[in-house]
A and B are shown apart, each in its own frame.
Chain A
Amino acid sequence: MESLGWGQIFFGMALRFLPVWIAIGAVFVVSIRMRRRLGLYGKLFDSGSGMVGLAIVLFWVFTAIFADLIITHDPLGQVSGMKNALPGTPMPDGTNPYLLGGDNLARDVFSRMVMGARRVLAIAPAATAFAFMVGITLGLAAGYRGGFFDIAQTFLANLVLAFPVILLFYLLVTPAIRDSWIVTSLAAVLFAFPIVFFVLLWNSRYRTDARKRALSIGLTLAIGGWVYSGLAFNADPTGIFRMDPNLLNVFVSVVFVNAPTVFRIVRSLTLDLKTREYVAAAQTRGEGAWYIMLWEILPNARGPLIVDFCLRIGYTTILLGTLGFFGLGVSPESPDWGSTINEGRRLLALFPHPAIVPALSLMSLVLGLNLLADGLREESLRD
Chain B
Amino acid sequence: MLRFLLGRVAVTVLTALCLTFAIFALTNLKPNLVKLAKTEAETRMSDEEVERWIERNGYARPVLLRYGEWLGVMPGWEGGGTAAIPPRCKRAVPDGAEIPSYCGVIQGYFGFSTTFKADVSAIIGRALGLTGWLMLWVLVVMIPISLLMGVLAGMREGSRLDRTLSTIAIATTATPEYVSGVVLIVVLASATLGVSPILAELGLIETKTLFMGTATSAMDNITFWNFALPVTTIALYGTGYIARMTRASMAEVMTAQYIRTARLKGLSFRAVVLRHALRNALIAPFTVIMLQFTWLLNGVVIVETLFNYKGFGWTIVQGAGNNDIELLMGCSVVAVVVVLATQLISDVGYAMLNPRIRVS
- Contact yes or no, A325 B316, CB < 8 A: no
Q: What 1/0 mask marks residues of chain B from 318 to 348 whose CB sits below 8 Å from any chain A CB?
A: 0011000000100110011001100100000
A352 surroundings in chain B (CB, below 8 A): 182, 186, 190, 193
Neighbour of A165 across the interface among B31, B191, B193, B298, CB < 8 A: B298
Q: With contacts A349-B189, A370-B173 known, is A338 near B178, CB below 8 A?
A: yes
Complex Cα spacing A170 to B321, Å = 7
Q: With contacts A158-B15, A180-B31, A349-B192 known, is A367 near B174, CB below 8 A?
A: yes
A359 within 8 A of B: yes
A314 within 8 A of B: yes
Neighbour of A322 across the interface among B35, B175, B178, B191, CB < 8 A: B178
B302 surroundings in chain A (CB, below 8 A): 166, 322, 325
Q: What 1/0 mask marks residues of chain B from 71 to 86 whose CB sits below 8 Å from any chain A CB?
A: 0000000000000000
A171 within 8 A of B: yes
- Contact yes or no, B176 A318, CB < 8 A: yes
B148 within 8 A of A: no
Complex Cα spacing A171 to B329, Å = 12
B29 within 8 A of A: yes
B93 within 8 A of A: no
For B, the interface residue count at a CB cutoff of 8 angstroms equals 56
* A-side interface mostly: helix
Complex Cα spacing A182 to B29, Å = 9
Q: Which of A345-383 contact B (CB under 8 A)?
A: 345, 348-350, 352, 355-356, 359-360, 362-363, 366-367, 369-371, 374
- Contact yes or no, A325 B183, CB < 8 A: no
B131 within 8 A of A: no
- Contact yes or no, A174 B213, CB < 8 A: no
- Contact yes or no, A349 B191, CB < 8 A: yes
A177 surroundings in chain B (CB, below 8 A): 29, 31-32
Q: With contacts A155-B15, A167-B316 known, is A162 near B340, CB below 8 A?
A: yes
B228 within 8 A of A: no
Neighbour of B29 across the interface among A170, A180, A363, A374, CB < 8 A: A180
B178 surroundings in chain A (CB, below 8 A): 321-322, 325, 338, 341-342, 359
- Contact yes or no, A155 B35, CB < 8 A: no
Neighbour of A363 across the interface among B27, B179, B213, CB < 8 A: B179
Complex Cα spacing A352 to B191, Å = 11
CB distance from A160 to the nearest CB of B (A): 9
For A, the interface residue count at a CB cutoff of 8 angstroms equals 47
Complex Cα spacing A352 to B182, Å = 9
The residue on B at minimum CB distance from A162 is B339
- Contact yes or no, B170 A370, CB < 8 A: yes
B185 within 8 A of A: yes
Q: Which of A128-166 contact B (CB under 8 A)?
A: 155, 158-159, 161-166
The residue on A at minimum CB distance from B31 is A176
B29 surroundings in chain A (CB, below 8 A): 176-177, 180, 182
B99 within 8 A of A: no
- Contact yes or no, A176 B192, CB < 8 A: no
- Contact yes or no, A341 B335, CB < 8 A: no
Additional 9 contacts, C-beta under 8 A, given A165-B298, A180-B30:
A155-B15, A164-B297, A167-B331, A171-B26, A180-B29, A348-B186, A352-B190, A363-B174, A370-B174
- A sample of 24 inter-chain contacts (CB < 8 A) reads A49-B167, A155-B11, A159-B18, A159-B22, A162-B19, A164-B294, A164-B316, A165-B298, A167-B316, A171-B26, A171-B27, A171-B320, A177-B32, A314-B174, A325-B302, A326-B317, A341-B182, A345-B306, A356-B182, A362-B179, A366-B175, A367-B175, A370-B170, A374-B166
